[in-house]
Structure formats: C-alpha cells, structure tokens
Amino acid sequence: MTESLLVVGSVAFDSIETRAGKRDEILGGAATFISLAASQLCKVRLVAVVGERDFPDEHVRLLASRGVDLAGLERVPGRTFRWAGAYADDFSSRRTLDTQLGVFASFSPKIPAGYATSKYVMLGNINPDLQLAVLDAVRGDHFVATDTMNLWINTAREALDAVMRRTDLLTINDEEAFLLTGERQIARAAAEVRRMGPKAVIIKRGEHGAFLFHERGVFFAPAFPLDDVVDPTGAGDSFAGGLMGHLASENRTDFGALKRGMLCGAAIASATCEAFGVERTAQLTRAGIDERVATLTALTSLDN
C-alpha cells in the first residue's frame, strides 16, 4: 500500500553555469528535486516557502501536474530564495557565486493538518532547528530521512545532534560524513554516525555512487554511467527523493527496500544530470525509472 511522503526544504531559483551552458533563475531547491523525484513513485506533500509575487504559476502547475500536494507551499511577502553557482569543467567542484535567502531566511515550516500523519518524512537540507520543528509536528509512526550540510555541522551541531537522534536514515555526502565524525574512511565514518542515532546511513559520492551502512550489512549502489553531464544540481536531492519515494510506495524500510530504493534514487539522479534544473527530472515516467533501474541492476550483475 502506497504511503505519503512529507518533504520539507528549499524551493528556489537557481542560476547555473556549467561547461554545457548557462541558465538564469530556473526552478530549483532541495525540496523541489526531492518532490519531483518521488512524485512518480508515491504521493508527495511539500512544505516550503516562496515569494508571494515572484514565483511563477508555471512552476506551481508543474509540481501540481506531477501530483505534488501543495497545501504546504507557503507564499509570503518577499523574494524567493535564489542561488547562483558555477561548476568546474570536470564537475569535480562548484563555486557559489551568489546566495539570496529572501523569504527562506525567516522560513518556519507550517505542517498542514492533513500532513501530520505522513508515514514517511524527508527533511531536506535546512537549519536543524526547523527540521526539529517539523518532527515535533508529525504524529504517529513514521520513518525519517535527514539531509544536512557543512554549514549546519559547523554552526548548529547541538540541534543537528537532536535531529539525528530522531532520524532513521541519514543521507549525506562523504565530505560531510568526514566533517561530522572526524573520520577519514567512509566505513568508519558510517559506524560513528550510526552511534549518533540513525539506524541506517547512506554516504553519497556523486558520480561514484553511494554506500548504505545498515545493521544487516553494507550495500553499494553504483551511479548510472552517463555519456554527458549537463548540470548535476539537485542530483543528491533527486537520489534521496527517489529512495524515499520507493520506500513510501512499498511501505517498507528493511535492508532490501533501502537497496532497491537507492537504485531508484540513482536512476532519477542520473536523469537530473542530463539537463539543466528539473527539466529531465520532471519528465521522467515510471517506465523510464524502471528502465534505468534495470540498467543499474545489470551493471553489477555477475550473470554472463
């Protein structure tokens, strides 16, 4: 039975430069990618904030057309969060050129009554105080996945630790895992994170795939090998969205479900990288996801 996924995070305008080109103020933000990625797999409930006047109806229509419940998309006076960045030609690094928090600076997530019993919760990368506020508003049995970043690890550690104690699955990249734990090898870092609360830890390595560390064992999901990367923005969030969408759609959170969820996430993340912004992510069909999952499965299959 398919369950609903509550998604909290940023909805933003991204201005992006890569070797493939340049885009100005296109739809982005962690919650956008997570929601669109999960939308072909389960029902998605979005909690985010945008500017009252500068957020185009076409973006609202796009999200709604993918079945995303927008009752939690708050519109307040001010400007929508804007981010600008430029990627190195080999995509190994990116520079932030500009950040304008706008209405996101005073974001205080409001959980609509209908969302409070969501069985799956994805806390996108926002201030851990806000992540805690969301957890306080959710009732009943639920499975929580959390993302975070260097900024919060460095500046809001106490709140982040509190979030982690209430987190079932932490999804972070390798550098964040090293910063969080002081370890330098991912297996050690994952073991240390698991002592902080989360029963399961996924350490993302971008184009090098992702590791799941779980009481049942370790699993590695390869990244889909792409002929061309156009824009990796949102790939990590697409991965998390696809993963959580799979868990919610199956209403299972065991080791096997997490593994298959990671392949769904890797499949959608690869599509995200093939075009700027959400262009490809928002076009993916269930069949398209399944096809990429099959390719990923074959990639590590020992069958001749």
User: What does the binding site for its own copies look like in residue numbers (CB under 8 A)?
Assistant: 89-90, 184-188, 205, 208-209, 211, 216-222, 225-229, 254-256, 259-260, 263, 297-304
Q: Phi and psi at residue 65, in whole multiples of 5°? A: -65, -20
Nearer to its own copies by Cβ, of 74 and 274: the residue is 274
DSSP letters, 66-101, are TTEEEEEEEEESSPPEEEEEEE-TTSS-EEEEEEE-
Helix (H) or strand (E) holding 81: strand 81-87
Contact assessment for residue 101 and residue 75, using Cβ atoms and an 8 Å cutoff? no
Smallest gap from Cβ 219 to its own copies, in A, equals 6
Nearer to its own copies by Cβ, of 132 and 179: the residue is 179
Nearer to its own copies by Cβ, of 15 and 295: the residue is 295
Smallest gap from Cβ 251 to its own copies, in A, equals 15
Radius of gyration for the chain, computed over Cα atoms and rounded to the nearest angstrom: 18
Nearer to its own copies by Cβ, of 76 and 229: the residue is 229
Helix (H) or strand (E) holding 28: strand 21-28
Nearer to its own copies by Cβ, of 1 and 302: the residue is 302
Question: What gap in Å lies between CA 38 and CA 241, rounded to an integer?
Answer: 5
Smallest gap from Cβ 229 to its own copies, in A, equals 7
Smallest gap from Cβ 155 to its own copies, in A, equals 24
Contact assessment for residue 175 and residue 182, using Cβ atoms and an 8 Å cutoff? no
Helix (H) or strand (E) holding 219: strand 217-221
Smallest gap from Cβ 72 to its own copies, in A, equals 34
Contact assessment for residue 198 and residue 170, using Cβ atoms and an 8 Å cutoff? yes
